[in-house]
Amino acid sequence: MVSADPRHGRWMTLSCLFRGKMTTCDIEAEVLNRVQRWTVEWIPHNAKYTLCSVPPRGLTQSATLVGTNTAILEAFTRVGAQFSEMFNRKAFLHWYIGEGMEEMEFLEAEANLADLVHEYQQYQDAYVDETDYWPYAQGDPNQRDDAEAADQRVA
């Protein structure tokens, strides 16, 4: 278990399991209205849901959410800072060296953790630029629409 507040990050993917008497329209409305504003834009359709009409014993409805959130970078940053502080003081290092590890392995682990934090930060800060995927979305004058192209073929 790790202490990370999902409100401080963005959901990359998530899966929801709903149990009880609900309609798919209600679920789609909840997923679209509530969840889509917390998800990253660059993964389309990143929220999936499942509906089971049998409620859990003793309840009328329930929901379970499993997902990947960028808030975990807070925990990685915290662990990395603690690791760096202890490694700089050479605390407990003699135990690991005595068991056959080398100091270079600790430096490599520290670099890998820093790369992981940087990668999650990029995922959290990424956005979709419409012109990257639809080059003519802004109305490029050199691009003709299909009706205009068909008119020129007829003429």
Q: At residue 146, does pLDDT exceed 80?
A: no
According to DSSP, the β-strands at 61-69 and 47-52 are: unpaired
Taking residues 15-43, report their average pLDDT: 84
In this prediction, residue 109 carries a pLDDT of 93
**pLDDT for 136:** 44
pLDDT at 100: 94
Average pLDDT over residues 131-145: 48
Q: Is the pLDDT of residue 123 over 80?
A: yes
Q: Which residue, 61, 54, 69, is CA-closest to 120?
A: 69
Give me 154's structure tokens.
């007829």
Residue 155 vs residue 35, higher pLDDT: 35
Question: In sequence order, what are the residues at sequence separation of 6 or more whose Cβ sits closer than 8 angstroms to the Cβ of residue 65?
Answer: 14, 15, 16, 17
Q: Can you point out the beta strands (E) in 5-120?
A: 11-20, 47-52, 61-69
* Residue 41 confidence (pLDDT): 82
What percent of the chain lies above the pLDDT cut of 70?
Answer: 82
pLDDT interval class at 142 (50, 70, 90): very low
Q: At what angle do helices 72-88 and 103-125 cross, to 10 degrees?
A: 150
Confidence of residue 86 (pLDDT cuts 50, 70, 90): very high
CB of 80 within 8 A of CB of 110? yes
pLDDT in tens, 95-115: 999 999 999 999 999 999 999
